[in-house]
Structure 1
Amino acid sequence: MKAPKNILKTTFYDLVEYFKSADFSKAILLGIALTIPILLGIKLDMLPLGITITVGAMLASPSDVSGSIHHKVAGILLATLLAMAVSLIGAYLHLSLWLLFPILGVLMFGISYISIYGFRASLISFSGLFALVLSFSNISNTMPPYERVLLIGAGGIWYACLAFAWHYIYPKGQTEYFLSKTLKLTADYLRTRGELVGENKDRSELLKKLLTTQTELTATHETLREILIASRTVSGKSDYEGKRLLIFVQLVDILELAMANPVNYDKTDLLYKSQPHQLQNFQDLLFAMSRRLTAVAAYISTPKKLRKSDAMQSYLEKIKNDISKYRATVESKADENVLMLRNLYKYQKDQVKKIRKIEWLLSNSDNSNISFIKKEDARRFLTKQNYGLQVLIENFNLSSPIFKHSLRLGVMTMIGYGVGMLFSLQNPYWILLTLIVIMRPTYGLTKSRSKERTIGTLIGGVIAVGIVLLTQNVMVYGILAIATLVIAFSMVQRNYKAAATFITLSVVFIYALLRPDIFNVIQYRIVDTLIGAGLATAGNLLLWPAWEIHGIHKTLLDTIASSRMYLEEIINFYNKKGTISSEYKPSRKKAFLAMSKLSTAFQRMTQEPKSRQQNLDKVYEIVVLNHTFLSSLASLSTFIMNRPTTPASSNFNKVTGRIVQNLLHSEAILNEEISVEGNSEKEEDIFENTFGKQMRVETSSKSKKDEANLYVQLEEAHLIREQLKWLLAMSEKMPKLLREI
């Protein structure tokens, strides 16, 4: 009986989240931007002008993505300028059929190639492609080209003004949304960690889920980083933004701490078999932390409504007491299970402290006792995009995925428009529209988009036929056209199949207002979509295909190099102690982002044809190996950054030096600089020859103080020893796997 209630509760929660999302608010803004010019055009009997301004607003809207208002407005205006220039050129393409096809191909290639400059540039590029496709339609073609171009520019400026006003009406909107989303994803991550600790015969599915959540979390971190840091860079110091930035820092640290969980589940499984209550308490604590972060996310805007909870502290006390009882039953102070439990307890305690710090930052109204992050230090965490001409020149070859994609798109749009003209289709530009929306640099994403677009269009066509048969009311068509368009734009990033369904409905109802032959519109819409989807898939399969196995080498290289730099920062701090280097957190960020990109690249590889999935098992093995290596680094860094530690020994430096050399060796293999087998001494030999088989920690007396110090030293020796041994073994395995692929 509880299952239906849970489903209803989840559905209601998802709906609430959808209406609160940045995607939905942007869709509402777009709905306003598109509706008002048309209503004014009808009122003033100047509908063609209103429609053209609406087109300009639509062309400017793709660049309105989450980030600083400065970048957002700049992107919208650049998209508007590009749309104006392309629309002017497109207006004269019909003068000569011989010139139309080559110019269409060259323009498609050039505009698409702009996306080499990153995500926001790819959205500006899409505006240009969209403008070129619309120049083939009959929308406002009755007016002179220069007049149409100026009205498109007016529409872009109109949308930029709306976006600017929306930002200042709801200045905290996107910050609150993405901070809440980060809190929820972090809660999901901790819950999955709790499930992993439990008795599982096969942890592979949970590990995949963990990796997926981590990838999404890292991407959300990057968005939130730009919102919080770039806005402070432009607008100066703000206590609100400063507090949110501190909360974000705590969330990044929580992810690192979560990754610092013990990676050797075999040992924890053996312990928990003899001490099942220990497992239950640790699981309960992880689940309690997850619930608390979810609760904080729900009340991020109204922290005073957040009820106090002692659940986390209660579980911590239980764990502490259980460890004390267990320690009393063992003879050796250096018992490995005791040391492992104590280190795990301290890690969980640190997590609870960070969650409490987030709650304190939200509820504390006195800013005098808060140490805000300096603007200069915060800037270091922004990912800077190189917009130099050199980037265009360096990528102007067939080894660049974006170059190949742009070339492919240029050729397929010429073929697509030729097919439309050859068979005298009603709206051949719909084929071009389908191509620019579906075609992506990778085969897997293009194939999935083609499938989702086709299914969505068919579903939308069936629903549209049903509505048209039920009513011929023009007012109903108008309301549905606007409503479905808003829903479609809000769903593009969330569910592309649903977005395609609502886009089809919107297009059909818009045409129903303009033309009486609505069933022909539905028929041709489906036919054009099927042709466009088929051409997009064929193009990615046959024309300069960019298989992931060729690009994953560079992604692996970046991942290993980032992990090495992160390790070097850890080694540097352990040797020098004192203040944490300004390079530490940026190096950690780069390592996490690189790992996220590697996981995404592997996911794309799994979507490719089986014949192109070369060494898939080995690639998966090295992806998991890199993830585990980064987790172990996080464990090591978390310990030495948050605990008073003894001076770094020569043994520590010898083993870490060997690990660094192994990583450099792996990088050299990927760079095809060497082909030698590397070090001949096995990792067991170097580790045991350096550290010995047993831990050796000495204390000068038997006082209680010295006994406490002994435990601290034993914990340090145990964790450092275990992590170094694990890191060394993985670093030795890495070059061997790389040679195989």
Structure 2
Amino acid sequence: MKYATELKKFASSQSIYSAVRISLAIVLPSVILAHFGLLKEYFLFPLATSFIGLTDQAGPFVRRRNALILAIVSFFTVALIASLLKSFPFLIYPEIILFSKFFTMIGVYGQRLAAVGSLSLVVLAIFIDGHLTGSNIMKSSLIFLAGSIFYLLIFLVVSKIQPYKLAGQMIGENYLRLGNYLSLKSKFYFKNPDFEALNSQIISQQISIKNLQEETRETVFETRKIVNESTTTSRLLMLMFLDSIDLHEKLMTSESDYRKVQENFGSTDFLNSIGEYLQKLSEEMVNIGIALQSNRKARPIENIDLMLEKIFNEYFDLRNKKLTPENLEDFMTLRFILNRITSISDDVKTIYKVFSQDEKLAKSLSTELDFRKFVTAEEKLSVKVFLSNFSLKSSLFRHAIRIAIALVIGYWISSFEFLGIGHAYWILITIVAILKPAYATTKHRNLLRLYGTISGAIIAYGLLYFISDQIILFVLFLTAMILCFSFLKTKYAWAVFFMTIYVFLAFNILNPGNVNLIFKDRILDTVIAGAVAFVVSYFVLPVWEHTQNLKLMQKSALSNLNYFSAAMAFFRNENMEPEAYKLARKAAVIDLANLSDNFQRMISDPKNQQKKLEHFHQFVNTSHLITAYIASFSQYSEASKVYPEIDFESWDLKISAELGRTDLLLNQKDLHHTILQESKIQPMDTVEKLLENRKKELAENEFFDRRDPNRISHLTKLKNLKEILELIYDVAKEQRKVAEKLEPEDQSTMVKQ
């Protein structure tokens, strides 16, 4: 691991930038209040600032602003009602149930409002027993309101000063993820690769890239300054994001039969050279990402042309020594791998040219895309949509019930005097943080929360025991807070670790010498909350991942069918607009990632709930391969008229029929006789005949050493194009057989002919 690069990635990231902004918004007023001896009295001011800051998720300015305003109103309302009802114990339980249901259910309008709802329940936990609010209810509520508004003002000022900052950081993060993705793929070329482990990691990375692309699309396409302004910066950022999406597709096209490549060339050093080159290329992508995040120009780390020339010279040397009529097709495969690597290298070089801030290049940008079609629309705030989810068929409604029951149990346990809990609200806050709609996510966060809390408490206890200098403790407090907010989305255990440290230090600032009580309460409350969350998630209306399998398989199968149809139509110049093709590609990648994500969660479900796990795993793997192979096929579209030797019409019917059979199987629809016949069509290609002729020539004639990296023979293109079509069909056929193994109720008997 290159620690300097990792440090640069972290230091320039959106997460650290956001964390510093939130932390300073909390600390600066706290320092001022402490200077005048008012911090204890006005402690709710910075506390409210921190809560509002946590609801500020990346996205378009308007949506972020509206969500912050809604959060301010919600927090103030909850704080005021909870403070008024704290003196009426018989009303507290109904209060918990009503607020839990409502603020969980608003998650139906998207993740942004789901975050507002979760933090509203945290506010409820803080104010429910009046432990931090004192006797003057109105004063406490207004102080809390003022702290909330303070963060909104900071957000408005920062957004005005740096309108492009967030977009640049998010686009940069896309390139960082693409660099990691290529780094993973490079490992297939080193000695003795672990194919299963690497494939699993690549699928996980695909999920990560998909989620980030969706967030970035929303930010870039719906931010008017980025889309509509004719400034060089806005156009270049748009170009950089669109290039990252196209680059992602090209990285997917680098899918090959790695086992076969290793069998044929694993004994040579050439595959290792390819792996090393791809590692270098991944470092260039990371370099671009860091530069975008840092808002500076990027310069190449290495001379890409020289590295590529070296790779080609090694290939030509190997070909001269090893090429025979028997391994001709193997060398064609290797040559085409180099062709794809060259295409990716050219894209990286083009991106570096964009960083030259070429104004003519920026002003010539015209995507001709309707951006609105590429952004996932947020659910409108319709009462009808909200009420329609009040059903046990809704996973969100079931989650709302679990949250309500868990909080009621948590509050009830906190009232047991023999436990001597001094900070009962920690139980409720921890339950809200741990309990998620998916059992697997709840289980995972439960363990991370426990590890992070125990280790953080031990470290914090040691710091307070051995360090008495208040300046040092304050620096540690600020550092822990920044790191907590930085890791909150990506490394939850570390976030909890640093959160525990800064909470300990914060309570020590407010009430010195109370560390033993805080230590006991923090550990005890986390254990209680974790136990409650686990029991409720397991026994109360659980939603197991296997219940989502069929729906996600249906979506992925249909998306791949549509993606192939769009790619074939685009390839054959059948009036397919680039926008329609890119929308089909986007849908296929999103549905593939959702399918893969569901499988990853299913692995963490109890063994008795991992229904048809092996078959589902096979379906996920075949879906991944089909999407990657279609992406490979689509790269030929620019020169489609020069391949008369391939019967594309028959391949179109054959592959579409096989993909269609899977779609019909999953949707329990009857199969027309025609589709069976189409799936058995034998395309009238002439590629094999040409290959035989070439082998004969190679055996009879002297081989000439042609060393032109830019020249790839027409026969090599034909061979690889046909191979891709064969791979799509073979994997589609394998997937159809997997679909046939599902439970009888999931398919029509007619489809299994």
Q: Tell me the TM-score normalized by structure 1.
A: 0.88
1:604 aligns with 601
1:719 aligns with 720
2:372 aligns with 379
Offset at 1:576? 2.3
Q: Deviations over 1:459-487 (max 9, x none)?
A: 22222332333355666655544443333
Distance (Å, rounded) in 1 between the aligned partners of 2:665 and 2:387: 27
Distance (Å, rounded) in 1 between the aligned partners of 2:676 and 2:367: 48
Distance (Å, rounded) in 1 between the aligned partners of 2:241 and 2:426: 43
Distance (Å, rounded) in 2 between the aligned partners of 1:330 and 1:695: 17
1:257 aligns with 250
Distance (Å, rounded) in 2 between the aligned partners of 1:287 and 1:479: 38
Q: Deviations over 1:613-655 (max 9, x none)?
A: 2222221111111001111101111122x43434789943343
Alpha carbons of structure 1 residues 680 and 581: separation in structure 2 relative to 1, 3 Å: closer
Distance (Å, rounded) in 1 between the aligned partners of 2:612 and 2:601: 14
Which of 348, 366, 369 is the equivalent residue of 1:355?
Answer: 348
1:314 aligns with 309
Equivalences for 1:445-484 in 2 at 5 Å? 445-471=441-467, 479-484=475-480
CA contact (8 A) 1:52 1:139 kept: no
Identity over aligned pairs, percent: 20
2:489 aligns with 493
Alpha carbons of structure 1 residues 410 and 256: separation in structure 2 relative to 1, 3 Å: same
2:619 aligns with 622
Distance (Å, rounded) in 1 between the aligned partners of 2:729 and 2:597: 26
Which of 104, 118, 124 is the equivalent residue of 1:112?
Answer: 104
Offset at 1:348? 2.2
Which of 15, 19, 24 is the equivalent residue of 2:11?
Answer: 19
Quick one: which amino acid aligns to residue 263 of structure 1? Answer: S
Question: For 1:582, what is the secondary structure of its paired residue?
Answer: helix
Distance (Å, rounded) in 1 between the aligned partners of 2:739 and 2:225: 42
Alpha carbons of structure 1 residues 648 and 570: separation in structure 2 relative to 1, 3 Å: farther
The question of 1:589 aligning with 2:586 is answered yes
Distance (Å, rounded) in 2 between the aligned partners of 1:522 and 1:463: 11
Q: Deviations over 1:544-603 (max 9, x none)?
A: 111111112222222222222211211221232577432111221221122122221111
Which of 50, 63, 77 is the equivalent residue of 1:85?
Answer: 77
Distance (Å, rounded) in 2 between the aligned partners of 1:529 and 1:369: 53
Alpha carbons of structure 1 residues 78 and 341: separation in structure 2 relative to 1, 3 Å: same
Question: For 1:92, what is the secondary structure of its paired residue?
Answer: helix
Quick one: which amino acid aligns to residue 567 of structure 1? Answer: F
Distance (Å, rounded) in 1 between the aligned partners of 2:259 and 2:475: 60
Alpha carbons of structure 1 residues 534 and 631: separation in structure 2 relative to 1, 3 Å: same
Offset at 1:735? 3.1
Question: For 2:256, what is the secondary structure of its paired residue?
Answer: coil
Distance (Å, rounded) in 1 between the aligned partners of 2:366 and 2:33: 50
Distance (Å, rounded) in 1 between the aligned partners of 2:7 and 2:173: 15
Which of 522, 525, 529 is the equivalent residue of 2:522?
Answer: 525
The question of 1:738 aligning with 2:730 is answered no
Quick one: which amino acid aligns to residue 250 of structure 1? Answer: D
Distance (Å, rounded) in 1 between the aligned partners of 2:272 and 2:166: 38
Distance (Å, rounded) in 2 between the aligned partners of 1:323 and 1:62: 57
Alpha carbons of structure 1 residues 627 and 543: separation in structure 2 relative to 1, 3 Å: same
CA contact (8 A) 2:657 2:676 kept: no
| Structure 2 spans left out of the alignment, 5+ residues | 698-707, 743-753
The question of 1:655 aligning with 2:651 is answered yes
Alpha carbons of structure 1 residues 277 and 146: separation in structure 2 relative to 1, 3 Å: same
Equivalences for 1:272-421 in 2 at 5 Å? 272=265, 276=268, 279-280=271-272, 282-300=274-292, 301-303=295-297, 306=300, 309=303, 310-315=305-310, 317-318=312-313, 321=316, 325=320, 336-367=329-360, 370-374=363-367, 377-389=370-382, 390-421=384-415
2:425 aligns with 429
Which of 630, 633, 638 is the equivalent residue of 2:635?
Answer: 638
Quick one: which amino acid aligns to residue 501 of structure 1? Answer: F
1:69 aligns with 61
CA contact (8 A) 1:59 1:80 kept: no
CA contact (8 A) 2:557 2:659 kept: yes
Alpha carbons of structure 1 residues 542 and 648: separation in structure 2 relative to 1, 3 Å: farther
Distance (Å, rounded) in 2 between the aligned partners of 1:278 and 1:234: 44
Distance (Å, rounded) in 2 between the aligned partners of 1:277 and 1:518: 60
Quick one: which amino acid aligns to residue 458 of structure 1? Answer: I
2:195 aligns with 203
Quick one: which amino acid aligns to residue 84 of structure 1? Answer: F
Alpha carbons of structure 1 residues 676 and 728: separation in structure 2 relative to 1, 3 Å: same
Distance (Å, rounded) in 1 between the aligned partners of 2:283 and 2:482: 33
Question: For 1:363, what is the secondary structure of its paired residue?
Answer: coil
1:3 aligns with none
CA contact (8 A) 1:416 1:432 kept: yes
Question: For 1:253, what is the secondary structure of its paired residue?
Answer: helix
Q: Deviations over 1:240-264 (max 9, x none)?
A: 1211221222222222112212532
1:558 aligns with 555
CA contact (8 A) 1:491 1:499 kept: yes
CA contact (8 A) 2:654 2:729 kept: yes
CA contact (8 A) 1:666 1:735 kept: yes
Equivalences for 1:143-162 in 2 at 5 Å? 144-162=136-154
The question of 1:243 aligning with 2:236 is answered yes
1:705 aligns with none
Offset at 1:196? 1.0
Distance (Å, rounded) in 1 between the aligned partners of 2:362 and 2:18: 37
Alpha carbons of structure 1 residues 421 and 638: separation in structure 2 relative to 1, 3 Å: same
RMSD of the alignment, in Å?
A: 3.4
Say how many residue pairs are matched. Answer: 719
Alpha carbons of structure 1 residues 474 and 691: separation in structure 2 relative to 1, 3 Å: same
2:30 aligns with 38
CA contact (8 A) 1:555 1:597 kept: yes
Distance (Å, rounded) in 1 between the aligned partners of 2:5 and 2:672: 57
CA contact (8 A) 2:646 2:687 kept: no
CA contact (8 A) 1:37 1:50 kept: no
CA contact (8 A) 1:256 1:638 kept: no
Distance (Å, rounded) in 2 between the aligned partners of 1:488 and 1:97: 35
Quick one: which amino acid aligns to residue 387 of structure 1? Answer: K
2:748 aligns with none
Alpha carbons of structure 1 residues 586 and 70: separation in structure 2 relative to 1, 3 Å: same
CA contact (8 A) 2:646 2:722 kept: no
Q: Tell me the TM-score normalized by structure 2.
A: 0.87
CA contact (8 A) 1:420 1:431 kept: yes
Q: Deviations over 1:398-423 (max 9, x none)?
A: 23222211110001100110111134
Distance (Å, rounded) in 2 between the aligned partners of 1:39 and 1:547: 48
Alpha carbons of structure 1 residues 591 and 151: separation in structure 2 relative to 1, 3 Å: same
Quick one: which amino acid aligns to residue 726 of structure 2? Answer: K
Q: Deviations over 1:369-415 (max 9, x none)?
A: 75324586333322222225343344332232222111100011001
| Structure 1 spans left out of the alignment, 5+ residues | 1-5, 703-707
Distance (Å, rounded) in 1 between the aligned partners of 2:585 and 2:727: 19
CA contact (8 A) 2:552 2:594 kept: yes
Quick one: which amino acid aligns to residue 508 of structure 2? Answer: A
Alpha carbons of structure 1 residues 165 and 306: separation in structure 2 relative to 1, 3 Å: farther
